[in-house]
Amino acid sequence: MENFDNKEYFTNRELSWIMFNHRVLEEARDRENPLLERVKFLSITASNLDEFFMVRVASLIDMVNVGYEKPDPAGLKPGQQLARISEKTHHMITQQYMTYNRMLKRLMREQGIFVLEVAELTARQLEFIDHYFSRVVYPVLTPMAVDSSRPFPLILNKSINITGLIHKPGAAHQEFVTVQVPNVLPRVVRVPDDGGRKSFVLLENIIRRHLNNLFIGYELDEAICYRVMRDMDLEVDEEETGDLLKEIEKQLRRRERGNVIHLDVESGISDRLINRLVSRLGVRMDNVYRVNGPIDLTFLSKLTDQLEGFDELRFPPHLPYVHYELMEHSIFDTLREKDVFLHHPYDSFDAVVEFIRQASSDPNVLAIKMTLYRVSGNSPIIRYLEKAAENGKQVTVLVELKARFDEENNINWAQKLEKTGCHVIYGLVGLKTHCKMALVVRREQTGIKRYMHFGTGNYNDITARFYTDMGLLTSDEQMGVDASNVFNMLSGYSEPPYFHKLVMAPLWLRRSIMDLIRTEIENARAGKPAYIEAKMNALSDEGMIQALYQASSSGVKIKLLVRGICCLRSRLPGVSDNIEVHSIVGRYLEHSRIYVFGNAGDPKVFLASADLMPRNLNRRVELMFPIEDESIRAAIIDSFHIMLSDNVKTRIMGADGVYRKPDRRGKTPVNAQEYFATLAEKRSIKRRKSLEEKHTFTPIRGHEENGFNENE
């Protein structure tokens, strides 16, 4: 294949991610979204940015510190990337606070929701917060002086802190002090309001009002809030450690002492105080962010959680479709007859939970094997795996301990599962296990039968309510053999020479996709129908992008749905004329991965756990699985085309790399997520009526219609 390695053909990965977060910020500014959902979107942009600093920016700083100078495909060296990132993120944070101060705060007040400053409080409200401080807050606080005998304390990652300068009456010398706002107390405090409004005060402002009480005998000159972010990437030498679980536990403790790579301060800080902070924390001035408002806007999600009612200010709840044939009958009887396709959150995730539940208690089930990357804090799947072990079944669970920011949660689950008799493994050295797969082995009259679930998303019953993912329940014999081989590879040293149908990374996924692209190129050159349609979270692998450029320049029509990072440039003359890139950012987080290849009129359709990124193709255990049932294949292709036709929540990349909403003038609005949700609700209502008419409907255990309208 011809090389397309011109740096002008690529967008820097980090700058592409910032563009994605801007698209999320646009949702916070979009007047068509309900107000409290806009508030949540703003909170999400802040949470996203925090993780970006702690992982991606921290990694680039490490590269600069060790003298790594290799440019990325877009031609930017690590130092140049940091400079561009600093410029873009300073601008983004300014926009975030403009959105809060000039839009959302005013609109919330119009609806009777107030986040008040201390100066705005009535006498009764002041009395309330004074009492709250003395009875609840004061006993928890630890004021810290900094001098020759008391060194600067460890400032915890992402904690809100108040720093100040104080002096003794009549003395000119100022002392530097700091106090952490306790994270064991709610940051958003409801205060009484005689006007019937919903009024709140932030905890740091309550503390700041009483800061003199913490330093008796001193006068306060200045007090401002600040927050640090640290390098939170784990550095685990899996080759050298004898116990991965203990090593990760040790690294988690070290992580809280990682280098400070970001400092937020309130905009009114004096030069004297900012210089003291920068010196003590060892942070560069270009990594200091002065914010015009409350530090850490993720408090807005906590605020909306405290607001009862206000249904008209939220997205209306969606009723997912429940697969009653799976819930009320033997799931294994159904799967012997046909495959079942699931499209979450439009299809209820309860079907996946039911698969494990039935397997846990079925006397004919011999073994359950499963990979867990991220699960919820009160996971029903974990409970059923424990029940299966208690019922004497062979239960093998791969728990990925290196799932970023879920390490501690996964360690707890791993230990809990081991105590109930499950065999817990941690995957392959040097690789994250990111595939989503469950295997049930059952004894039947005809012999041993395997049943599987393959998915594009995690076995997390909570995020399944607001992440869009796809899954397949099947009893396909060859897939079952492949699934057993995957687990044997993960638990031991067995590596089969080939798989029948499943495609696994890092062994074969890159080569298989390259072969599929090459086939489309050959078909285009032979005058046959040739196209590629793919949906993923991110596209950054240089080799894959070059292969897509080769296909485009050969006449292959390529349509991509890429939610986040996309380093490919569309519509470049002679390079990507035939490539469209769409990005949907809406109510639900687009998370499914779909790969469709025209194959000269007989399309090949795959779902996968993998995006087209170097980490997924080279450093993770991933699975791509084929969809062979014609009706399911058609449903996935139809779903892709509906998403592609979205003109409400989609943005389309232009030749300049900028994403813009399509022109809707004269066109019928198409919101793909709302379309799928409405379709699911209609199917669910129709199915219920049918069951009620036949007098066969019974409420499903623990699957009542509450909680389905959560949003990220």
Q: Using H for helix, E for strand and C for coil, what is the string for 390-420? A: HCCCEEEEEECCCCCCCHHHHHHHHHHHHHC
Q: 57 and 155 in one domain?
A: yes
Q: Of 5, 6, 11, 2, give the one whose Cα is nearest residue 569.
A: 11
Q: What is the pLDDT of residue 247?
A: 62
Q: 350 and 284 in one domain?
A: no
Which residues constitute the domain of residue 616?
505-670
Q: What angle do CA 486, 494, 500 make, to 5 degrees?
A: 45
- Domain assignment present for 681: no
Q: How many domains does the chain have?
A: 3
Q: What is the pLDDT of residue 407?
A: 75
Q: 541 and 423 in one domain?
A: no
Whether residue 190 contacts residue 198, with contact meaning beta carbons closer than 8 Å, is answered with: yes
Q: What angle do CA 20, 22, 26 make, to 5 degrees?
A: 120
- Domain assignment present for 678: no
Q: 329 and 284 in one domain?
A: no
The pTM (predicted TM-score) of the whole model is 0.92
Strand, helix or coil for residue 244: helix
Q: Of 381, 453, 468, give the one whose Cα is nearest residue 422.
A: 381
Q: 208 and 341 in one domain?
A: no
Where does residue 131 rank: exposed (0-12), middle (13-18), buried (19+ CB within 10 A)?
A: exposed
Q: 262 and 238 in one domain?
A: yes
- Domain assignment present for 659: yes
In this structure, what CATH number is given to the domain that contains residue 384? 3.30.870.10
**Parallel, antiparallel or unpaired: strands 394-399 and 365-372:** parallel
Q: 102 and 239 in one domain?
A: yes
Measured between alpha carbons, how far is residue 322 from residues 342, 344, 376, 462, 531 in Å? 10, 11, 20, 16, 34
Amino acid at 242: G
Alpha helices for 178-268 (secondary structure H): 203-209, 244-255
Distance CA 347, CA 504 (A): 27
Q: 467 and 422 in one domain?
A: yes
Q: What is the pLDDT of residue 703?
A: 38
Query: How many CA within 13 A on the CB side of residue 430?
Result: 5
Q: 307 and 428 in one domain?
A: no
Distance CA 412, CA 491 (A): 20
**Parallel, antiparallel or unpaired: strands 144-146 and 175-180:** antiparallel
Q: What is the pLDDT of residue 211?
A: 93
- Domain assignment present for 683: no
In the chain, how many H helices and how many E strands? 21, 27
**Parallel, antiparallel or unpaired: strands 589-590 and 594-597:** unpaired
Residue 582 appears among annotated catalytic residues: no
Q: Of the residues 323, 434, 453, 582, which is catalytic? A: 434
What does R_g of the chain's alpha carbons equal in angstroms? 27
Whether residue 624 contacts residue 595, with contact meaning beta carbons closer than 8 Å, is answered with: yes
In this structure, what CATH number is given to the domain that contains residue 60? 3.30.1840.10
Q: 494 and 511 in one domain?
A: no
- Domain assignment present for 694: no
Q: What is the pLDDT of residue 255?
A: 61
- Domain assignment present for 390: yes
Tokens 């040739």 correspond to: 530
- Domain assignment present for 493: yes
Q: 126 and 239 in one domain?
A: yes
- Tokens coding 290: 């002065």
Q: 554 and 435 in one domain?
A: no
From the first residue on, what is the mean pLDDT of each consecutive set of 10 residues in the chain (712 residues)? 85 98 98 97 97 93 92 96 97 98 97 96 97 96 83 90 92 90 96 93 97 90 95 60 59 70 95 92 93 97 94 95 87 96 97 97 97 89 96 93 71 84 83 94 96 97 96 98 93 80 96 98 96 98 97 98 98 96 98 98 97 96 97 98 97 96 93 96 83 58 35 33
Distance CA 463, CA 431 (A): 24
- Tokens coding 540: 């950054």
